[in-house]
Amino acid sequence: MPKRIVMFCLAVLVGWTGPALAQQEQQQQQPEDETYSQDEILEKARGFFGATTEGLAKAVEKVFEDNGRPNAYIEGEEVSGAIVVGLRYGKGTLHRKASGSRQVYWQGPSVGFDFGGNVARVFTLVYNLKNPDDIFQRFPGVDGSFYFVAGVGVNYQQSGDIILAPMRTGVGLRAGANIGYLHYNREYSVFPF
């Protein structure tokens, strides 16, 4: 059974680059005044994390290289823990140039080779969000697919055309690989489903 989970995670990782390349082409069609430049995002992320680390700059560069210019971002905080089965809860603010800000909450389960817990600040780049209400849905992801650069972890989640790229930094220890999803909501919920 464990071998099957590892193989599934690897299959997802290998197949993940296709959607990112297609999204880059879509991003180039959006007007620049509705998207954020790499410099704008880096400035906002540095202000949010309170740091100007090289790791943050490399993480932002990697996400822009993979997906282009985002048209929204979320600043938030979350807690998570796991012993094979995990849970994650978060709260933040969605920002869009075209339509201002709004509160969002997220929670979700995961399962895999995953142990520990952490509290993190999360800065999520959002791609192809045409309507702010479109964020309120489930976004599958493979947390074992993250890039870890000098203290900043990045992974991708996707539902339809919308791609989320959460960048996390925090305290605690959570190690392993898992599969799961995050459900974004208008209101806080203790139920992760």
**pTM tops 0.85, yes or no:** no
Hey, how many other C-beta atoms are within 10 angstroms of the C-beta on 38? 16
Percent of the chain having pLDDT more than 90?
A: 40
141 or 37: which leads in pLDDT: 37
Domains of the chain, earliest start first: 2-185 (2.40.128.480)
Residue 52 has which token pair? 């100007």
Q: What is the pLDDT of residue 3?
A: 42
Distance in angstroms between the alpha carbons of the first and the last residue of the chain: 24
